[in-house]
Each structure stands twice: as C-alpha cells, then as structure tokens.
Amino acid sequence: MAISLSNMQALPFTTNHNLSLRSENPFPVTFSTRNYPFKSSEVGALTIKPTSSEVQVLSSDALTSSRVIEEPWKETGVEYGPTMKERAENELVDRWKEIHGEDDWVGLLDPMDSLLRAELIRYGEMAQACYDAFDFDPFSKYCGSCRYLRHLFFKGLEMEDYGYDVTRYLYATSNINLPNLFRHSRWPKVWSKNANWIGYVAVSNDEMSKKLGRRDISISWRGTVTRREWVHDLMDFLRPVSDEKIPCPDHNVKAESGFLDLYTDKVQDCKYCKFSAREQILTEVKRLLELYHNEEVSITITGHSLGSALAILSAYDIAETGIHIGSSSQARHISVLSFSGPRVGNLRFKQRLERLGVKVLRVVNVHDMVPKAPGLVINENLPPECLKFAQWSPWSYCHVGVELALNHKNSLFLKDTNDPACAHNLEAHLHLLDGYHGKGKRFHLTMGRDIALVNKSCDFLKDHYQIPPCWRQDHNRGMVRSKDGRWIQEQRPVLDDHPDYTHHHLRQLGLPH
C-alpha cells in the first residue's frame, strides 16, 4: 500500500518527544522535559527518518492532518501515561516493603512485576543523574565536580517531578591508583586537587512521601567516568573491613581493598574530603533519621558500576554501625538497587550482610564483564565444598543478594556490538528493564521510556533509528560570551552550602576523629 507523507502533521517518535513531520527530510526533533534529565540546548541536532517497516505499521486513520501517528514500537493494549502512574503510586503505598525486598523479591522477577520495574527504573534514573550532572571535561576548571548547586540539582537536570531534595553532596578521594575513576582539570588552578564529586544524599519531600508510603532517604553513587578499564585497576586483594574501623565483630568479613580505600580515605587539608565518604554518609543519614524520627523511613541506596560496589558497602556499614535503628529499637528498612556492579567481598561478607537484614537486588546484563569481576576464578559459582576451602584466599569473592539477569540481545532496538562499554551502559540497562517481562518472554517496552536515551553516551541503537551516538553534550562546553564579547569559561560556584560536619558529630557516632 502506497502511503503519502505530505499530509502528516506530527509523529511522536518517543514518549513525550514530538517530531515535527513534514514532506521533506530530515525531521527536526523538539524535546520536552519529560524523561530527559538535560536541557534541549545541551543536545546537538538530531535527524530521524522513519524506515519503510515503520511506515507500514501506521494505520490509515493516522494519515490525516488531525490524527497522531502511533509510535511504531508501542505495544497495543499497553497502558501508558498518568493512569498507569497513578495506579502504581496508589499500589506502592501498600507494597513498598515487598517491592524493596522484604521477601527477597520471591515471585516478582519472573514474570516481572510491573511496580518493581517502575521502581527499578526510577532509582536507576537517580543513579544516572550522577553521570548527567558530572563535569567530565578536562578543559573545564571545574572538572570532577557537580555542574549544579545542591538545591538546584534536580531542577538543573529537569527532574523536579521526582519529588526529592538533595541534602548532601558526596566527595571522595583515594590514595590508590585509580586513573579511570577521578577526573582532573588541565587548568593550573582547580577547585580541588584531591577530591571528586561522587554522588548525593536526597530525601523525599512531603508530597512524594505520601505517594511512597514512607519518607525515603535515597543515596546515589556514580561509577567510573571511563567505564572500560576500571576492572583492571581494581583487581586487588580482600582485606578485613574492621581494619577501617567499621565495627564488625568478625575479622574474617572482608571487602575489596580498593573499594574500602575509596570509601574511607580522606585528606585533612582538603575542604571537600576532610571527612571520608564514609563519614559523610553516616553523619548525614543519622541527621535525617533524627529529623524524621516520628515517621516511617526507608533507606534506599543505588549505584552503577563502581557506584554499585559503594552502594553495597555503605548499606552494610549503615547496618553494621546500627544508626538505622530508631529510639523504639525498630530497624529502618535498608535496600540496595544496584546496576552492573562487581563483587564486593568474600563469603563471610555476604553472610554478614544477610544477617544484618540488608536487601540487595542486582540488575546485570549477562554480556557485561564488570559483574564477573573481581573473583574471575574463585567465586560463588564454585561447588560448595571448594568454596568453603577457598574462602580464606585473599582473592575469593562472592556476590551478594538477588540477581536480575537481562540480555541486551533480546532487544530489537539494540545492535550486535562487541563494545564492552555498550553492554555496561546504565541507560541500556534501564531500556532492558523497560522491555523485560520474564525469562523466555517476548521483549516489548511498557514504560514508554525514550529509546534515544540509550545512545546518550554510547553507540548501541541500530543505525536505522538514526540516533547519533554519544549525543549528549553540554551547551558550548561551558563557554559563555563575556560583556566585552570574548568567549570565556562560565563562572560557577563549586563548594555548596552542605553541612560542615564537625568532630563532635563523628564522636556521637563513635567514629575515629
């Protein structure tokens, strides 16, 4: 059947992002704010042409100037939009403990529970915000910092409707060799020689707390800024967590030494890492728990890649330290929703984490190498007899929690590539979550996430969608025109008005100071 495109007025290419479709090509894209944590000015020109197969699925009713053409990859009969969102919010009030692992996600993963999918994507987007807000550019004097002030974080990323307020930025430093983790500016004078911004602590506002059924403290960690080689940098040995003053009664509970260093290192003469990431986390969580002591509170920690390891380590530390236990001796629920994370500790670490009641759900891509390390040889896949014998090795690792395994080859939108960065990409994981319905079930998208997000920082979508690879970019790379007409680096503050915790706060927690 021949189809004329001359009368077609609008084609919604992806959810909430309209294409102005005219008789000539290319088709300019107009971005709205929904589902995109960035400004349209940060994006280069995108051109998209519908393929013949996509045009053939259009109904004849859609070929009038007053009709909207259905998105070619939407499944008919799938509920989208506010109705689905409102139903999920109402259901979450009653089911949030189940969704956050109260019963270890039994019966929720196969088939995939729709509410769990929505929650995983929501927290995954909060972890993705760590990348979107990070200044990667070595030609920027602020390289390695966050591009937004704390109180403008979600507004700057156009994520105000997430319903969270950032209460603390997290900075980390390290004395180990991590060239692919930290980014530093080429400018002679930089905002910090030792620290990098590595995440944030946020808390749900009053309106969002009503929808969630509790006050939620969310901690998000970012991963490495170059995501291919970091595993090789962190192929290190295990060491007892008690060596870093974490109050663990079992000296045989061990974690990867690089993770521990990053989590506990500090530099006394640096205003950003005068206190370690561990001290920043514990003091802020304790402060928030005291602030909302009369409410039901949950602690949800998320992260991608190396951030996943830090999420698990910080969740364990909060539980081991006991700051999540309120005045009524009732422990607040702690859950970790991690993405493409490595192994963190040994078998005793896993057993201790479970005994403390921390719930961990790990979302992985089966073709991603990062979750397979460290511990490529000695790990939880060994027979129990061998693992029991080998657990005393300094290279014997064990995954924690429950695994949700996804396969990017099941998505019709992704191309076959051997690029490890694609298999490891966080936006690709969120895309796979959107279409996953259970083992052996057909992949189809249900949340209406924009597939263009997959190519935000990689080249993973099939070429015929004509989404440019690595298309996300900062507007003019931070260059602005001065009053005298010269182009100069935009001036922005770095040190935010975060609480300046003192040794008194650390003493209250029983931490060394």
User: Per-residue pLDDT tens for 117-166?
Assistant: 999 999 999 999 999 999 888 888 888 889 899 999 999 999 999 999 99
Band (pLDDT 50/70/90 cuts) for residue 74 is very low
> Strands 297-304 and 333-339, how do they pair?
parallel
94 is catalytic: no
17 is catalytic: no
pLDDT tens column, 354-392: 999 999 999 999 999 999 989 888 888 888 878 777 877
Q: What is the 3-state secondary structure (H, E, C) of 254-287?
A: EEEHHHHHHHHCCCCCCCCCCCCHHHHHHHHHHH
Task: Check residue 377 and give its pLDDT.
Answer: 86
Task: Check residue 478 and give its pLDDT.
Answer: 78
Cα four-point dihedral sign 34, 37, 40, 46: negative
pLDDT at 69 over 50: no
In terms of pLDDT, which residue wins out, 163 or 480?
A: 163
* pTM reported for the whole predicted model: 0.81
Band (pLDDT 50/70/90 cuts) for residue 80 is very low
Q: Which of 100, 333, 424, 431 is catalytic?
A: 424
100 is catalytic: no
What gap in Å lies between CA 279 and CA 302, rounded to an integer? Answer: 18
Return the minimum-mean-pLDDT range out of 74-88, 132-146, 236-250: 74-88
Task: Check residue 314 and give its pLDDT.
Answer: 97
Start-end of H helices in 190-342: 206-212, 230-233, 257-264, 277-291, 306-321
- The long-range contacts involving 471-476, CB below 8 angstroms and separated by at least 24 positions, are 471/43, 471/44, 471/46, 472/38, 472/42, 472/43, 472/132, 473/42, 473/43, 473/44, 474/42, 474/137, 474/147, 475/39, 475/41, 475/42
Task: Check residue 136 and give its pLDDT.
Answer: 81
Hey, where are the domains in the chain?
114-406+481-509, 409-473
For the domain 114-406+481-509, what is the CATH code?
A: 3.40.50.1820
Q: Which of 257, 305, 314, 340 is catalytic?
A: 305
Q: Which of 368, 450, 459, 496 is catalytic?
A: 368
Task: Check residue 76 and give its pLDDT.
Answer: 34
- The long-range contacts involving 1-4, CB below 8 angstroms and separated by at least 24 positions, are 1/56, 3/55, 3/56, 3/58, 3/63, 4/63
Task: Check residue 32 and give its pLDDT.
Answer: 33
Token digits of residue 23: 């008789």
Task: Check residue 86 and give its pLDDT.
Answer: 57
In terms of pLDDT, which residue wins out, 116 or 268?
A: 116
Calculate the average pLDDT of the chain: 79
Return the minimum-mean-pLDDT range out of 256-265, 304-313, 351-360: 256-265
Q: Are 475 and 489 in contact (CB under 8 A)?
A: no
For residue 414, CA distances in Å to 175, 330, 428 come to 39, 46, 9
In the chain, the percentage of residues whose pLDDT exceeds 90 is 54
Band (pLDDT 50/70/90 cuts) for residue 65 is very low
Task: Check residue 465 and give its pLDDT.
Answer: 93
Task: Check residue 504 and give its pLDDT.
Answer: 56
pLDDT tens column, 384-443: 878 777 877 888 999 999 999 999 999 999 999 989 999 999 999 999 999 999 999 999
What gap in Å lies between CA 238 and CA 251, rounded to an integer? Answer: 12
Task: Check residue 474 and give its pLDDT.
Answer: 81
